[in-house]
Structure 1
Amino acid sequence: MSNQFVFLNAARLAAVAALVLPLSAWPALKPGAVAPAFRTPAAVGGKTFEFDLAEALKKGPVVLYFFPKAFTKGCTIEANAFAEATPRFAALGATVVGMSHDDIDTLRKFSVEECRDRFAVASDPQARTIRAYDASSLLPGMASRISYVIGQDGRITFAHEGSDPLKHVEETLKAVQSLGRPPR
């Protein structure tokens, strides 16, 4: 058996597994769980800053969505959809932030080109926050597609895991709408 034959069969098996098996190693955090605090580099409109969950929660609920990799088809669709929906989230007092393993330079570009300067994308190349939110993927260097709504009390109010990027936007928007507008 040649090395090329073994490699091709291993690649085929990995591709089939990726289609059949869920991408996360663990289930998402459940509603009611305390959302792990984090502070990490992020970008919006091509500018870098430190995103702090505790600070964002002072303004209202936070939609935290994890995505596998910037500039890939599904992640681009999801970023475009969140960008279009950001004014609706903002009208409800919610902050949207995406997070991936990508480095901050990549996300700076992604924040302009695909997030359309409308919301922040956070970099977690060491996967500390990704692991804390049970968003690790079986694929190395990628997060699973999981979205959370975090209430101002710091607890998960909604979790959605699935491969359809548009569903994440629809479902998190419904979840934020069910919370009502936070008092100012």
Structure 2
Amino acid sequence: MSLIKSASLLAALALTTSATPALAALKAGDKAPDFKLQTATDGKVSAFSLKDHLKKGPVVVYFYPKAFTGTCSLEARTFADNMPKFKAMNVTVLGVSTDTIQKVTEFSTADCQGKFPVAADTDAKVAKAYDTKMAAVNMAARVSYLITPDHKVAAVHEAGDGVSHPMKMLEAAQKLKK
């Protein structure tokens, strides 16, 4: 890897681990772009359609930069630990990164503990549609969205830490139930 490419990657990763200013173009009330991606849950590969899952209830779509990195692993484990609370509110959780399907398949069993699907957005089309793609590298920034069955963004959370995302999405989902 060239020195310039390494520096770009390090700079991008630094952005994902510290508090960052608002990056997401989508705001609460905006229509969420529909998508279909290849996913893995507990090591099993399948397809995920946002449109189909929204028929069942709200969906949390959380973007993370890279599987098996410290903050991304912590975030996935925190979502996994809180899955009973999401399921009790009929909320689907989906993690999205630009990693390969092979990488997210491994990640789905290790850090996601088989409790929710993670998607391979290798060409970053979905990250671009949600305005979470980092400019310098083919990675998604750490941004979470709660999307309602009518395809509306109910909540957005942007922060470099991984632990606040599951908590903020749980809070937002609880507000939907009221």
Q: 1:21 to 1:172 in 2, by over 3 A?
A: closer
Which one of the candidate residues 38, 47, 52 is aligned to 1:50?
A: 47
- Alignment of 1:96 with 2:93, yes or no, is yes
The one-letter amino acid of 2:58's match is P
TM-score (normalizing by structure 2):
0.89
1:2-81 equivalences under 5 Å are: 11=7, 15=11, 18=14, 22=20, 26-81=23-78
Separation in 1, partners of 2:34, 2:136: 25
2:173 alignment partner, SS class: helix
Report the alpha carbon displacement of residue 137 of structure 1 after superposing the two structures with TM: 1.4
Whether 1:127 aligns to 2:119 is no
How far is the alpha carbon of 1:15 from its aligned partner? Answer: 4.3
* Rounded Cα–Cα distance in structure 2 between residues aligned with 1:18 and 1:155: 30
Match of 1:150 among 134, 147, 150: 147
After TM superposition, the score normalised by the length of structure 1 is: 0.86
**How far is 1:37 from its partner?**
0.3
| CA deviations over 1:81-136 (Å, ceiling 9, x no partner) | 00000110010010000000000010001000000000000110001000000111
Are 1:169 and 2:159 an aligned pair?
no
* Cα separation, partners in 2 of 1:15 and 1:52, compared to 1, 3 Å: closer
- State the one-letter code of the partner of 1:173: L
Give the secondary-structure state (helix, strand or coil) at the position aligned to 1:99.
strand
CA-based RMSD: 2.5
Residues 113 and 17 of structure 1: is their aligned pair in 2 closer, same or farther, counting only changes over 3 Å? closer
Aligned match of 1:137: 134
Whether the aligned pair in 2 keeps the contact of 1:40 and 1:124 (CA below 8 Å) is yes
Q: What runs of 5+ residues in structure 1 fail to find an aligned partner?
A: 1-6
Q: Which amino acid aligns with 2:155?
A: F
- Identity of paired residues, percent? 41
- Taking the aligned partners of 2:131 and 2:12, their CA distance within structure 1 comes to 23
Aligned to 1:117: 114
1:23 Cα deviation after fit: 8.3
Shift of 1:22: 3.8
SS at the partner of 2:170?
Answer: helix
* Bigger radius of gyration: 1
Distance 1:150 1:16, change over 3 A: closer
Instruction: Number of aligned residue pairs: give it.
Output: 173
Query: For the residues of structure 1 that align with 2:58 and 2:73, how far apart are their CA atoms?
Result: 24
Counterpart-to-counterpart distance in 2, 1:101 and 1:92: 28
Letter paired with 1:80:
R
